[in-house]
Amino acid sequence: MIYRDLSNVLKGLSGKMPILSVTGPRQSGKTTLVREVFSGHEYVNLENPNTLEEVKFDPEGFLRQRSGGLIIDEAQHFPELFSFIQVISDEVGKKGEFVLTGSQHFLLSQRISQSLAGRVFVTHLLPCTISEANRFEHWRNSPNAAMYSGFYPRIHESRIEPHLFYPSYIQTYIERDVRQIINITRLGDFQRFMRLLAGRVGQVMNYSALANEVGVDMKTIKAWTQLLEASFVVFLLQPHHANYNKRIVKSPKLYFYDTGLVCNLLGVQSQEQLDAHWVRGSLFENMVIADIKKYFHHHHRQLQLYFWRDSNGNEVDLLIEHSDGLDIAEIKSSTSVNASFFKGLDYYSGLNQSVKRSFLIYGGEESRTRGRHLILPWHIAAQQIAEV
């Protein structure tokens, strides 16, 4: 296994909170992470039918027999257990006593908010960041290889070909998670919806157009999008709403947490195919923005990310909001730097005096500056932005 950055956060919080919860998408490495960090805890998995039956028969007795620290994997399978955890945790008063994991964040969080509010630290383990993936010995540090392979740890740990991993991953997600949450009678429509979203990475969401293409109503499209958000498949980047006396785009842009999944949904069969693929620029932008989002999250930095675009086509790909100002970034897949790349950054900086730092993130290998702009290679951008 490789060391995940979220380990530091969990170790620090384990001495402050009695209960910790780690959710995230399937195969993101949650079980491996918590078993490594909390190696002295007993481990149980509620996806095991025998264990689940034992828990349901005597929940309180099950917990009291395991007083040396307990990891409960896939805890959403018996959310009624949380009330018993609350009672025992309050009695014992021990920090880091219970660690809960689950793939279905929406179910787990709902029960946590009802039963364990004020007692639990909730965090999410997302697919690897670029810096985490770089810890694999065989990692191929090129944009195309990174975008095509994606960032689920099992792909790299077991050296599974992406075209073998992702179809099963998609099928498992749809057959298990989706069907447990909402009643989708026509799974083909949902699969087509996912493929259509994959072709729209980096674009402003148009729910009406998607509804027409899939053949369902707009309410259904919004519900399905929310489902994909809640299960850590996609995220929406909201527009920044500063008033600059010009009409700005007010709908969010769509991104996936993992570009390997996007490639598979679009039928990309090799990294070489990306060289001339129409999605390459948007996919590169998706990879960089998702990496920054994951990096901040795995280091427990709760910063807000946005984009900005006005009605005249002026745009900034990424805005990072700090308490004392903004960082702004333009993202280009090119391995060389062109003066035109700075147009949006310069324009926005002229409108907003709260801009602190300006970045160009590109597909090349060298860091340098140009005027007030810092030029960053794609594979170190998240670290540099976080640490500068």
Is 1 inside any structural domain? no
Task: Say which residue the tokens 């991993």 belong to.
Answer: 165
pLDDT tens-place string over residues 329-376: 999 999 999 999 999 999 999 998 899 999 999 999 999 999 999 999
* CA nearest to 258, candidates 293, 227, 224: 293
Identify the residue with better confidence: 369 or 179.
369
pLDDT tens-place string over residues 116-172: 878 888 899 999 999 999 999 887 779 999 999 999 999 999 999 999 999 999 888
Q: Region 258-274: what's the mean pLDDT? A: 96
251 and 362 in a single domain? The answer is: yes
Task: Indicate the pTM of the whole model.
Answer: 0.93
86 and 232 in a single domain? The answer is: no
Number of domains in the chain: 2
pLDDT, residue 184, reads 73
What is the percentage of the chain residues whose pLDDT exceeds 70?
A: 95
120 and 135 in a single domain? The answer is: no
Are the beta carbons of 336 and 346 closer than 8 angstroms? no
Rounded Cα distance between 106 and 127, Å, is 18
Whether 209 shows a pLDDT value over 70: the answer reads yes
Instruction: Tell me the average pLDDT of the chain.
Output: 91
pLDDT tens-place string over residues 53-89: 999 999 999 999 888 899 999 988 888 898 899 999 9
Rounded Cα distance between 111 and 108, Å, is 5
Q: State the virtual CA torsion across 363, 364, 366, 368 in degrees, nearest 10.
A: -60
87 and 150 in a single domain? The answer is: no
Are the beta carbons of 50 and 28 closer than 8 angstroms? no
Domain that holds residue 179: 130-387
Length of the chain: 388
229 and 377 in a single domain? The answer is: yes
111 and 143 in a single domain? The answer is: no
pLDDT, residue 119, reads 86
Is 373 inside any structural domain? yes
380 and 272 in a single domain? The answer is: yes
Question: What token pair was written down for 226?
Answer: 């929310």
228 and 299 in a single domain? The answer is: yes
* CA nearest to 63, candidates 91, 25, 37: 91
Task: Say which residue the tokens 């990310």 belong to.
Answer: 305
Rounded Cα distance between 162 and 164, Å, is 5
Beta-ladder partners of 370 = 373
What is the phi-psi region of residue 96: left when phi exceeds 0, alpha when psi lies from -120 to 50, beta otherwise? left
The CATH number covering residue 19 comes to: 3.40.50.300
* Residue 264 CB neighbour total at 10 angstroms: 23
* Residues whose CB falls within 8 Å of the CB of residue 289, separated by 6 or more in sequence, listed in order: 237, 255, 305, 317, 318, 331
Helix orientation angle between 81-92 and 105-115, rounded to the nearest 10 degrees: 50
What is the percentage of the chain residues whose pLDDT exceeds 90?
A: 72
Whether 248 shows a pLDDT value over 70: the answer reads no
Is 67 inside any structural domain? yes
Rounded Cα distance between 8 and 33, Å, is 11
Lowest-pLDDT range of 168-177, 188-197, 229-238, 280-289: 168-177
23 and 147 in a single domain? The answer is: no
Question: What token pair was written down for 12?
Answer: 């620090």
Whether 384 shows a pLDDT value over 90: the answer reads yes
Rounded Cα distance between 76 and 22, Å, is 12
What is the phi-psi region of residue 149: left when phi exceeds 0, alpha when psi lies from -120 to 50, beta otherwise? alpha
152 and 218 in a single domain? The answer is: yes
Whether 260 shows a pLDDT value over 90: the answer reads yes
Task: Provide the 8-state DSSP code for 68.
Answer: S
Q: Region 295-318: what's the mean pLDDT? A: 93
Are the beta carbons of 122 and 112 closer than 8 angstroms? yes
